[in-house]
Structure 1
Amino acid sequence: MRPEILNPLFTDVTYLPGVGPKVAALIGKVAGPRIIDLLLTLPTGLIDRSSRPQILQAEEGQLVTLEITVEKHTPPPKGMSRIPYKVICSDQSGFITLAFFHARSDYLLKNLPQGATRLVSGKVERFSGGLQIVHPDHIVDPDNADALPLYEPVYPLTASLHSKTMRKAAQGAVERCPDLPEWLDPALVAREKWPTWPDAMRSAHHPESRLDLTGENVARQRLAYDELLSNQLALALIRQNRHRSAGRSLEGNNVLREAVRAALPFHLTTDQEKVLTEIFEDMAAATRMIRLVQGDVGSGKTVVALLALLCAIESGAQGALMAPTEILARQHYEFIAPLLAETNVSVELLTGRDKGQERQAKLSGLEKGYIDILIGTHAIFSEDVAYKDLGLIIVDEQHRFGVFQRLALQEKGVHADVLVMTATPIPRSLALTTYGDMDISQIREKPPGRKPVDTRALPLERLEDVTMAVRRAIERGEQVYWVCPMVEENADIELTAVETRFAHLQQSLGASVGLVHGKMKSAEKDAVVTAFYNKEISLLVATTVIEVGVNAPDATIMVIEHAERFGLAQLHQLRGRVGRGDRQSTCLLLYKANAKGELGETAKARLNVLRETDDGFLIAEEDLRLRGPGDFLGSAQSGFPDFRIADATKHKALLDMARDDSTLIISQDPALETGRGTALKTLLYLFTRDEAVKLLKSG
């Protein structure tokens, strides 16, 4: 149960003064439906009204607060509403005009009576040789000067949501901040000179300078640390729960692994051997394994997966390998099955295509234990799929699997081990915040003999030259990928639609051109990709759906249109689709040039990174630095935690502190029963890490 002290923060924003259902719906778009969501939406800007010059010292375009005397009202002539109502004002230095369009004269006469002194605030303009402020933001009696805020926070807005309304709602949320128990170590708070959580929240919502909006501000640092600590503590609790829950020892006798190693036409790299040692140690332990293997494109993760599966089978258990697409599942099957031909290990492929008696036969064989390894898409974990004794689950390229989906996966087998593989190198900061519940291994080394892909950047104006180069490659019996960023033409965005490019290339190059994009049905996509895989198609025009998957050794050219619009990590993944055979391969990055016929400085720097290195881990770090965590995988469904205040890239030092702190907390107070432990439970609920608290109770 959430602590009662937090209940006022988890109520609907309609409980705030002046927030009805319509305003609540608008606030929901930019912040969220609850008061806590509004609290965690910090100001993004600041209106500074502290400048108090005399009239003639005010500069054009400057936001000022002036103390003026009202001299004269000049209403517009009758019937001429396009002319503004003018109020002439003065101070010791000179005159300024306040201009109001479509104004009510009774309102202005009441608020700006002739001869009265007023404080007015707004942006100064120069008009007809004089100074004016059009529609001042504030008009205040000097006796009531406190009513004019010197600093006004600026919040994210949406259509029809006014800044004044949003500010008032946020202020109402801040006023509901309860005095929460301190969950941080007092020594840390003293060292960093951090305020309490409620004080930090109040301060963050009342910035008084641009510096107060940065990550260096002590209030924001405190709040970011709280959020990171909630993330790291939740992951630590999940790790603890896993280590505490019974696993099974899968040690094996090495017979099958040695047989397959002997059948391999190559030796494993040092990195592959190191990762296998880590996996086998985990599998032999009495606790459950949940390990992430990060391997760059072409680093040989499938061989590692196969040897891990064989370790489980040597121990008398079954193994399952899940791939994100049918074509990738099929490729895994076609790689693994021949290597097992000389052993008595049975391997089967199960996809959504399997129907009727064929599917039933596979399910029956699996349940009776006749099938040792099952490879397939998510269909292998459907409700009607039962294993006799599932010991190892391998999930390939499922970075969209969240923490609790991984936990649920383990329940398919009795104390099953889980190995997650990804070809997307994850920067360390994101790995800590996203995969902190797992042990992490990296395969950075490439197998010997793989030639680096020649990467070049060209302007889109050279499209016909590229088309001719593609024609020559196809005539040599090579295959080509051509990637575009959109499915259909959009008048508002000048990006080449994949359908338009397909029609153009088909006209130029003939019938050996295929098209695949995300809006096609799975069966249609698979049919085209299979035709390319079987060399029935020479050129595959596609969106980024081919980022993960197809292994075509004869593909030697990757063309990417509007490369400046893609993330570096994504471009690297796409580039990894070529260079898998023994021929030299090329990646052509086509960019839209600016008015000078050049590539912008930022875009040039990004593409240069790609040209200079093929180390996916270096590229991933640079991509994260340039684009931030939100866009890192180019998908809102990435599975990365959606931090409201913290930024895993800018707050790396805080993240490391939070990880160390959470490790220490769990070692000293594993059930969070001490005074600080109870306060930390409040922190977990505050940042909606409720699932982690439940693990305390279930354990």
Structure 2
Amino acid sequence: MLSLQDSVGKLKGVGPKMGENLASLDILTVEDLLTYFPSRYDEITPINLEDAKDKQRITVKGTVISEPMMSRFGYRRSRLSFRIMVGQGVAQVTFFNQPYLAKSVQINTDVTVMGTWDQSRNEIKGTKLLTSNPNEEKGMGAIYPANKHIKQATIRKLIRQAYDQYQRVIATLLPISLRQRYQLMERREMIKQLHFPDNREMAKLAQRTAAYEEFFLFQLRLQALRRAHRQENGIQILYDNEELREFIRTIPFELTSAQKRVVNEICRDLRRPYQMNRLLQGDVGSGKTIVAGIAIYAAISTGYQVAMMAPTEILAEQHAEKLARTFSGTHVNVALLTGSMKAKQHQELLNQIENGSVNLIIGTHALIQEKVDYANLGLAIIDEQHRFGVKQRQALREKGDHPDILAMTATPIPRTLAITAYGEMDVSIIDELPAGRQPIKTTWLREKQLDQAVNFLKGQLEQGAQAYIVSPLIEESESLDVQNATALAEQYQQRFAPHYQIGLLHGRMTNEEKSAVMQDFQDGKLQVLVSTTVIEVGVDNPNATVMMIYNADRFGLAQLHQLRGRVGRGSRQSYCLLVADPKTDEGTARMETMVATTDGFVVAQRDLELRGSGDVLGSRQSGVPEFKVGDPVADLKMLQIARSDAGNLLNEPGWDEKAENQPLVLYLKRHQLATHFD
């Protein structure tokens, strides 16, 4: 029996070495091979020159009307040039570094040339010279993503063999009602037309079918997973409402309306009998920690423990200090668990966690080690959750008996991507800043304006403020012409001595060294902190009013926005100075976006448009999928429709018992456990 799950090793010509080469492209099964879709097509059917558009990849058939000229330059580089008559027009043809083609080009003979049309020069920059054999393949030639281990021709040949051999077992997954509604192909025809299209229209229809199928299957998996979570028995945290209100009244400031709305959403989940799985999104400085604090108090007031996992020791320490102040005088006992603790101290704390004498445990991934046994874990909070891998997040979930999960992120995720990445989570958004916070003024300066930036920074220091200076590197790099943190710290020490003290912070320092520098900065012993991006997350000093970023075009938009959020934590006006001479249009666009808006969601949407969905959060860590055909930004409407259709199908009684849906049921069973979402 043939199956699409057969190993590619079953195909003729695929031995162990070829199997390894295919695996380097993530092709392990016949289905992987058949769904390894082309990235683009070359037009093989010849066209007339008057129909060609500038920079279009074209194929033309013509007669050679000039002797071929071969010239050589540089090391093993060559240029072959000749002219051809196509219909009534004449075009220059140039091939680079393919000298062996010269013997195929003779005056007054017919040739077929594939290449890129340069209208202004009346020239075809050739990529391929075809014979004028009447049996030459016509239509569109698929071009696949390849690597050094495997050639285009090999991929094409194997896909043709796999399709010919397995086409009978390609089952259509989409229900007939959806195919008819959107005029989509059956799966077998879709795969055929993507790899071997009859014409451009058929290729487009196949691409539309594949994009919708991809979105629909993804959303079906996600929503089935979400329903499965809801069917699991969770913990009901039936806190006393009046006691929680009493605690909220002790908070020394009024919650924003967005914070109140989010607190209500989280508290409703705590009381429900299934496991909470909620993402709390809020821009830097929007007040997520106090919202988490209210949820922590609700859980602990009913006898449960709470674990809060942060990505760095600096951030874990800051949370522990802040929450210890928040819960001062209550029955919340705060403990800090990190990997750098002394062995005796570590063991004592493990005993206290196990016997329940501490009920709020804050730490790094040390919280999920096997030796850590919780007495009664009711709520697990993951801060900056995209910085943890899926397995780490799952490990925290598995501590205790289905504890409620609250994931937090200060990286604003556009709604476009939230639908895609976190469709299995309920999402709460804090979309307003606390009262009294002033928007950070952002300025972009060229390097020749650096003295202006330094003078401005000095003026802020003279008013008693503090500043951050960020560099992309720790030490000099021969390959990158960028300022490095160590050299910058020395420069500023010389420039500002003896009036101001400069500190240095980078990832190669020990945790103790980092903590000591941070404490000195917090205490005002250091006026300027020169750092790498280690300060991107969680550092909180309300007296810092300037964030100066060297070579700012080297950073992504999300990272720049996170860095900017380190200032503006107090009531004083704060500033972000971006020093950059971008070499690309994208670098310029990033600088212009940062100057134009301080809204993290606008920044994130622009980042998505510039970089694509796969790069915004880092797909391997965050679980954001990389779709083969669909683009969640360009095809957002299709993604939303597919989401709605998947939900409607799951709501249909007995949908999984219908004969026409059995291939879909099998697909879901096969992929549900393999899904990379936790």
TM more than 0.5: yes
CA separation of 1:260/1:404 partners in 2, compared to 1, >3 Å: closer, same or farther?
A: same
CA separation of 1:508/1:60 partners in 2, compared to 1, >3 Å: closer, same or farther?
A: closer
SS of 2:308's equivalent in the other structure is: strand
SS of 1:558's equivalent in the other structure is: strand
CA separation of 1:377/1:53 partners in 2, compared to 1, >3 Å: closer, same or farther?
A: closer
What are the equivalent positions in structure 2 for 1:237-276 lying under 5 Å apart?
237-254=224-241, 256-276=243-263
Give 2:485's aligned residue. Answer: 498
What are the equivalent positions in structure 2 for 1:214-229 lying under 5 Å apart?
217-229=204-216
Percent pairwise identity? 35
Give 2:496's aligned residue. Answer: 509
Q: Distance in 1 between matches of 2:219 and 2:84?
A: 59
Tell me, yes or no, if structure 1 residue 204 matches structure 2 residue 190: no
Tell me, yes or no, if structure 1 residue 579 matches structure 2 residue 561: no
Structure 2, gaps ≥5 residues long:
none
CA separation of 1:442/1:601 partners in 2, compared to 1, >3 Å: closer, same or farther?
A: same
Residue among 593, 598, 612 paired with 1:628: 612
After TM superposition, the structure 1 stretch with the greater mean CA deviation from structure 2, 189-198 or 352-361, is 352-361
Cα deviation code 1:552-574 (max 9, x no counterpart): 11111011223334333322211
Deviation at 1:478, TM superposition (A): 1.9
Cα deviation code 1:337-364 (max 9, x no counterpart): 1232222332222222222332222222
Tell me, yes or no, if structure 1 residue 691 matches structure 2 residue 678: no
Cα deviation code 1:491-543 (max 9, x no counterpart): 44433333443343333334832333345454444443343333333222223
Deviation at 1:335, TM superposition (A): 1.4
CA separation of 1:72/1:693 partners in 2, compared to 1, >3 Å: closer, same or farther?
A: closer
Q: 1:684 touches 1:693 (CA, 8 Å); kept in 2?
A: no
CA separation of 1:645/1:54 partners in 2, compared to 1, >3 Å: closer, same or farther?
A: closer
Q: Distance in 2 between matches of 1:27 and 1:222?
A: 26
Q: Distance in 2 between matches of 1:344 and 1:62?
A: 71
After TM superposition, the structure 1 stretch with the greater mean CA deviation from structure 2, 179-188 or 363-372, is 179-188
What is the identity, as a one-letter code, of the residue corresponding to 1:691?
Answer: A
Q: 2:618 touches 2:624 (CA, 8 Å); kept in 1?
A: no
CA separation of 1:504/1:357 partners in 2, compared to 1, >3 Å: closer, same or farther?
A: same
Give 2:176's aligned residue. Answer: 186
Q: Distance in 2 between matches of 1:344 and 1:302?
A: 19
Residue among 517, 528, 533 paired with 1:528: 517
Q: 1:324 touches 1:378 (CA, 8 Å); kept in 2?
A: yes
Q: Distance in 1 between matches of 2:438 and 2:68?
A: 80
Deviation at 1:649, TM superposition (A): 1.0
CA separation of 1:473/1:71 partners in 2, compared to 1, >3 Å: closer, same or farther?
A: closer
Q: Distance in 2 between matches of 1:648 and 1:54?
A: 36
SS of 2:632's equivalent in the other structure is: coil
Structure 1, gaps ≥5 residues long:
595-599
Deviation at 1:410, TM superposition (A): 2.4
Deviation at 1:380, TM superposition (A): 1.9
Q: Distance in 1 between matches of 2:163 and 2:443?
A: 53
Paired residues in the alignment total 665
Q: 1:46 touches 1:207 (CA, 8 Å); kept in 2?
A: no
What are the equivalent positions in structure 2 for 1:343-362 lying under 5 Å apart?
343-362=330-349
Q: Distance in 2 between matches of 1:262 and 1:657?
A: 44
Residue among 417, 420, 433 paired with 2:420: 433
What are the equivalent positions in structure 2 for 1:148-547 lying under 5 Å apart?
148-159=137-148, 161-175=150-164, 176-206=166-196, 217-254=204-241, 256-401=243-388, 406-510=393-497, 512-547=501-536
Tell me, yes or no, if structure 1 residue 48 matches structure 2 residue 43: yes
Residue among 602, 605, 612 paired with 1:618: 602
Q: Distance in 1 between matches of 2:545 and 2:512?
A: 26
What is the identity, as a one-letter code, of the residue corresponding to 1:137?
Answer: L
Cα deviation code 1:442-489 (max 9, x no counterpart): 111211111111111111211222223323333433221122233444
What is the identity, as a one-letter code, of the residue corresponding to 1:198?
Answer: R
Deviation at 1:268, TM superposition (A): 1.0
CA separation of 1:689/1:515 partners in 2, compared to 1, >3 Å: closer, same or farther?
A: farther
Give 1:647's aligned residue. Answer: 631
CA separation of 1:434/1:581 partners in 2, compared to 1, >3 Å: closer, same or farther?
A: same
Q: Distance in 2 between matches of 1:131 and 1:281?
A: 68
SS of 2:578's equivalent in the other structure is: strand
Tell me, yes or no, if structure 1 residue 681 matches structure 2 residue 665: yes
Give 1:5's aligned residue. Answer: 3
SS of 1:440's equivalent in the other structure is: strand
After TM superposition, the structure 1 stretch with the greater mean CA deviation from structure 2, 637-646 or 648-657, is 637-646
Q: 2:39 touches 2:143 (CA, 8 Å); kept in 1?
A: yes
Q: 2:62 touches 2:110 (CA, 8 Å); kept in 1?
A: yes
SS of 1:359's equivalent in the other structure is: helix
CA separation of 1:540/1:644 partners in 2, compared to 1, >3 Å: closer, same or farther?
A: farther
SS of 1:472's equivalent in the other structure is: helix
What is the identity, as a one-letter code, of the residue corresponding to 2:37?
Answer: L
After TM superposition, the structure 1 stretch with the greater mean CA deviation from structure 2, 339-348 or 326-335, is 339-348
Cα deviation code 1:160-179 (max 9, x no counterpart): 75443443344445444554
After TM superposition, the structure 1 stretch with the greater mean CA deviation from structure 2, 256-265 or 442-451, is 256-265
Cα deviation code 1:95-154 (max 9, x no counterpart): 99999976599xx6xx89999x7654355999xxx999989622243xxx2334453222
Q: 1:496 touches 1:561 (CA, 8 Å); kept in 2?
A: yes
Q: Distance in 1 between matches of 2:246 and 2:87?
A: 97
Q: 1:557 touches 1:585 (CA, 8 Å); kept in 2?
A: yes
Cα deviation code 1:248-301 (max 9, x no counterpart): 211211465344323321011111111111111111111111111111111111
Deviation at 1:211, TM superposition (A): 7.4
What are the equivalent positions in structure 2 for 1:53-68 lying under 5 Å apart?
64-66=59-61
Q: 1:533 touches 1:550 (CA, 8 Å); kept in 2?
A: no
SS of 1:637's equivalent in the other structure is: helix
Give 1:597's aligned residue. Answer: none
Q: 1:391 touches 1:417 (CA, 8 Å); kept in 2?
A: yes
Q: 1:97 touches 1:132 (CA, 8 Å); kept in 2?
A: yes
